[in-house]
Every structure is written in structure tokens, then in C-alpha cells.
Amino acid sequence: MQDCAGTLDLLRKCLLWCSRQGLGIPQNYDPSSFFGSAYLAPIDREMCRLEGIRYFRWMDDIRFTARTRGEAIRHLHLLQDGLARLGLSVNAKKTRLIEPNSSEYATLLSIDEDHRLDELAGMLSTMHEDTIRNAIPLFADAIKRCNEKDDDRFLRAYGGRLLEAAQLVEVRDDCLAAIREYALQGFLKRPERADSWARFLLPDVNSRVQEFLVEFLQDPNFNCHQWTNMWAVTTLSQASDPSTQTVEYLRRVVEESPCAPVRAYALVALGRVGDNIDRARIGDAYITGETHPLVRRAAVVAIQELRSDARERFFGSAGTIDPDLAVLCEYIMGCSEPQYGIKKLPTRHCLPTPAALPDPEHTAFGFIGGEWRSFGVRARSYAGYE
């Protein structure tokens, strides 16, 4: 355990940077997932030892099955007792008992959408331009259907497949366009999934995306969640050709935002698009002992293109104020070109003939079209699809 002390301390610091109160676990950060799972491990062990149920947990979502209604309720009470010992409780609004033979149960068992996703993903896997272009409208229809049903899980799953296909330069623009508007609207309708919407937008932060996000971030009805704002600002900061409106907004964010991660992303973006006068001002204003550690670190990244003499002076100050920054400064000095963390899709090309799909590796079972069916499943790894 001693060997992990440094890593655990770093994770703890990351969470404190993102928590204005210094209490609790901020939502949707990797350290949050780690500490949340560690905290719930006793519950997992206790529930898995019980007979008569099957227990599953994903992050803080818990599901278990039982043979009878009585067993399900008794085990729910045991779960509540275990959580109470940790100072936790179940969310009453999200807790429900699903009876066999009910419509909700049938919906739960249905894999119609999974099967459709697998079929369409197979078309993308051919890496053949004509085949993929034929698939894109089908993906667009599926995404529209999921959006109308408020099924953001499958909306994100279909979008994730298109994002993977967008690595192919011949179909990149069409793939990204098929999900762009839904991703933008996701910031309004499903702000808790802002990281997913940003992922779909980051490869092409065009003028439409910038205009929408600046308006969103300035709307008091929607900019109430700093975690969501962080992802919106992260997206803006990746624009290859930021508009005047975007740059002006990022300047205001650096000066006014109460959220350190939001200010940090904006600061790095200003360093990238600004000139040496801007960078020198950033160094003077933010590489100080009074600055939040995350913002100070961002300022070091933002000034990396300063003249070497001015940059070395600021880097020396940064290392004195915070010894941990000396490692970052050394890394930047060793880079052959500026590093701003710009997200770029891999560049691949379509094949002249469709690639052969591998044979199914597994046999799956489920309700398709209301009937119990078996079908072959090919091994695929899809990012962002639970």
C-alpha cells in the first residue's frame, strides 16, 4: 500500500482541485470513479456473498435479480443497511422493482437496439467508402430515433461508432455532421453527459459549434453546472480557427470563472492563439504563489511559445513556487513543437474493396423482435458504450 501512497495523494489532490467545498466526490472525474469503487467495495463483497440473488454494480448504479418478490425486497433492505453504515442511501426516485412479464421487463430484456447497432457497426468495419456512405443515413435515422425516445445511451453508442469511422478521411465530414447537432443539443437536454458531447464535437470545432457553445455558456438558464461548463470550454479551447467572439469569451472566463478547471482550459487556449504580449501578461498574472495550482500549471503551458529568455525566467519562477512544475517545464523545454493537448483523430483511409468481417467468436441470446433468438457476436471494443 505504501507504494501507492503517491498515486493516491495525487488522485486526492485532483479531486480537491475540482471541488469548491473540499467535501464529497465531484461527479464524472476518473479519481471519483476510483475512490467511489474503493468506498463501495465492502458493499460488493457483502452482497455477492448472499444467496438467492445475482448482484451487479456499474459506478454507483446497482442492480440485482432475485427469484421472488419477497427475496428482492429483503435483499434491498440488506443493501440499504450496508449503505447506511457507510453514510449512504439509495436514490428513491431511481429505485424500482421490475416484475417478470411486465412491459418494462420485456423492454429490459430486449436487445433490438443492440442487434441493430451491431449490424450497422459491421458496415463501418468494412472500411469501404461506398458501404460506409450507405450506412451513415441509417446511423442518422437511429440517432434521431434515440433522441426522440430520450435514449441517450444508444444515441451515444451510435455516435461513438460514427466517431470511430471518422478516422477515415474520405467520410470524416459526413460522419461528424450526422451527430453534431445532437451533441450540441445534448448540452441543453442532458448536461450530465457533457463529456460525451464534447468528444463528438472536438474533431471539428467549427463556427457553428463555437457560436452555439458561447451562447450556451452565457445563458443563465443553462450554465449552472461547472462540470458541464468545463467540457463546453474544453471544446471551445480546441477550435483550430477560434472566432473573435470565442477569444473574447475565453478571456472573460479566465478572469471571472469561479471554477479552476474551466479557467485552466481557457488559459491554455489563450496562450495558443495569442501573441507574446498576451503570453507575457499570462505569466505575470498567473505564475504566482497566490494562484490556484491548476491555473498556475495551465499558465506554464500557455506561455511555452514565449521568447526563450522570457520563458526561462517564468519557468524558473514556477519551479521555485511549486517544485512539481519543474518537471512540466523540463518536459516543455524538451518538446520539438508546442504541446497544447489538441485532440486529433487518427488519419486512416478507406479500402478499395470491403474488408472481410471476422467470423463470430461468441453466440449471444436475447429477445429480438419479441422472440428469443441466438446470433453470432464478433469481438469489438467500443469506447464510451457501457
User: Is the confidence at residue 48, as pLDDT, over 50?
Assistant: yes
Q: Which residues contact 37 (CB under 8 A, 6 or more apart)?
A: 59
Q: State the average pLDDT for the chain.
A: 89
User: Is the confidence at residue 219, as pLDDT, over 50?
Assistant: yes
For residues 217 and 202, give the distance between their C-alpha atoms in angstroms, rounded to a whole number: 17
DSSP conformation letters of 120-184: HHHHHHT-BHHHHHHHHHHHHHHHHHHHHTT-HHHHHHHHHHHHHHTTBTTTHHHHHHHHHHHHH
Mean pLDDT of 282-297: 94
pLDDT tens readout for residues 145-179 = 999 999 988 999 999 999 999 999 999 999 999 99
pLDDT of residue 21: 57
For residues 12 and 31, give the distance between their C-alpha atoms in angstroms, rounded to a whole number: 7
pLDDT tens readout for residues 71-115 = 999 999 999 999 999 988 998 888 999 998 888 888 888 888 888
pLDDT of residue 376: 77
Assign 365 a pLDDT band (cuts: 50, 70, 90): confident
Mean pLDDT of 341-352: 92
Q: What does the block give as the cell for 221? A: 438558464
pLDDT of residue 386: 37
Q: What does the block give as the cell for 159? A: 455516435
3-state SS, residue 79: helix
- Looking from the CA of 11 toward its CB, the CA atoms found within 13 Å total 15
pLDDT tens readout for residues 172-200 = 999 999 999 999 999 999 988 899 999 99
Low-confidence winner among 286-300, 339-353, 371-385 (lowest mean pLDDT): 371-385
Assign 372 a pLDDT band (cuts: 50, 70, 90): confident
The three-point CA angle 242-307-318 to 5° equals 90
For residues 98 and 139, is the Cβ–Cβ distance under 8 A? Answer: no
pLDDT of residue 383: 40
3-state SS, residue 221: coil
pLDDT tens readout for residues 305-341 = 999 999 999 999 999 999 989 999 999 999 999 999 8
For residues 266 and 224, give the distance between their C-alpha atoms in angstroms, rounded to a whole number: 18
What is this structure's pTM?
0.79
User: Is the confidence at residue 132, as pLDDT, over 50?
Assistant: yes
3-state SS, residue 65: strand
Mean pLDDT of 239-243: 94
Q: Which residues contact 23 (CB under 8 A, 6 or more apart)?
A: none
